[in-house]
Structure formats: structure tokens, C-alpha cells
């Protein structure tokens, strides 16, 4: 069997995406509670994600949504990491800026522990990309589009997307709005 470089590189990106999910899942969690969600998006679902990013660009005029959609188009897959919006119920913690979890809920705020746990998980995931020399970029825009797509249920308010690519030149640098580099 002969495996060409493009197929080998694409397979490496997919294996890395799986390892990223494992790294995110095993990252430390505040108070030992796991509110992290993770999925890998490929194929038509990845195309739909990029389409939602372009829709947000059209609605808001925020150019980076269009630019980032081009990067998603040129990527093999996108790892989505999100957190459920569920307070971890520490008595009077106040880390979110509210006196307790009930006040947090009443204000429509997010639990600081969940957001911090998500950040640690994202850091763990992208370190796997770096260790495997796979190009990636953390994208708020892809996460927002994933929420719009309904990939996660209503318990999720914060998500980040991490597209992966393995081309001779990274499609995440020198980006032009809507450009697709391969």
C-alpha cells in the first residue's frame, strides 16, 4: 500500500483532533465537576459551520467571521469545545462577581469556574496540535456559529472552535476575508 502525503497529513489531523478531545476531557476541572462538551466536525457539517459563520458576517458586518469561514473551509476538521452553563454550587464563592449561585442565575451570568475550565481545556487541546505540528487556530467565531447551528443544547452559552489543517503553508496566517488557501 502507498499512502500519499495529502492522505497521510489529513489522517494525522484527524488523529490529532481525537487526541485533542482526550486532552480537553482530561484537563483539570473546578470542584471536580465536568461540564465540558467536545465534538469534532467534518464534511458537510463543517461546511454548514462555515456557512453559519458567513451568515453572521452578513448580519453583523464583522469581517473576521467571513475570514475565519475561509479558514474553516480550508481545514480538515474543527474541534468544538464548549461548557454547560451550570454553576458548580460552591457556597458563597462569589468568583463570578455575584454573592452566590442564585444571584448568578438571576443576573444571567456564567459560572466563572465553567469558563475557566473551558479555557484550561482549550489550552490542553491546542498543546496537542503544537506537539503534533498540526496547524490550528482558536476561533470564537466558529464557536458562535456552532451555537447557532444547535450542535449543543441550550445549556451551552460558550463555545470555541479549533480548525486543523496540514498544508505546506498555514491557512491561519496572512488571512484575507473569504480566502481559501491550500
CA atoms within 13 A of residue 80's CA, in its CB half-sphere: 27
List, for residues 149-158, the tens digit of each pLDDT value: 999 999 999 9
List, for residues 94-109, the tens digit of each pLDDT value: 889 999 888 998 999 9
> How far is CA 12 from each of CA 8, 9, 24, 106, 133, rounded to the nearest angstrom?
6, 5, 18, 45, 10
What is the side-by-side strand order in the sheet with 77-84?
A: 36-41, 77-84, 156-165, 135-136
SS3 32: helix
Amino acid at each position: 500500500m502507498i499512502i500519499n502525503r495529502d492522505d497521510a497529513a489529513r489522517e494525522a489531523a484527524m488523529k490529532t483532533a481525537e487526541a485533542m478531545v482526550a486532552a480537553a476531557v482530561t484537563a483539570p476541572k473546578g470542584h471536580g465537576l465536568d461540564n465540558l462538551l467536545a465534538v469534532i466536525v467534518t464534511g458537510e457539517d463543517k461546511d454548514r459551520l462555515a456557512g453559519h459563520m458567513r451568515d453572521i458576517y452578513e448580519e453583523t458586518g464583522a469581517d473576521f467571521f467571513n475570514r475565519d469561514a475561509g479558514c474553516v473551509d480550508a481545514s480538515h476538521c474543527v474541534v468544538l469545545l464548549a461548557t454547560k452553563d451550570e454553576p458548580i454550587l460552591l457556597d458563597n464563592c462569589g468568583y463570578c462577581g455575584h454573592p452566590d449561585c442564585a444571584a448568578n442565575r438571576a443576573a444571567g451570568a456564567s459560572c466563572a469556574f465553567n469558563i475557566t475550565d473551558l479555557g484550561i481545556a482549550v489550552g490542553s487541546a491546542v498543546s496537542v496540535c503544537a506537539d503534533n505540528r498540526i496547524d490550528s487556530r482558536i476561533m470564537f467565531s466558529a464557536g458562535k456559529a456552532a451555537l447557532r447551528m444547535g450542535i449543543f443544547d441550550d445549556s451551552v452559552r460558550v463555545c470555541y472552535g479549533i480548525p486543523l489543517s496540514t498544508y505546506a503553508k498555514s491557512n491561519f496566517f496572512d488571512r484575507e476575508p473569504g480566502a481559501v488557501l491550500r
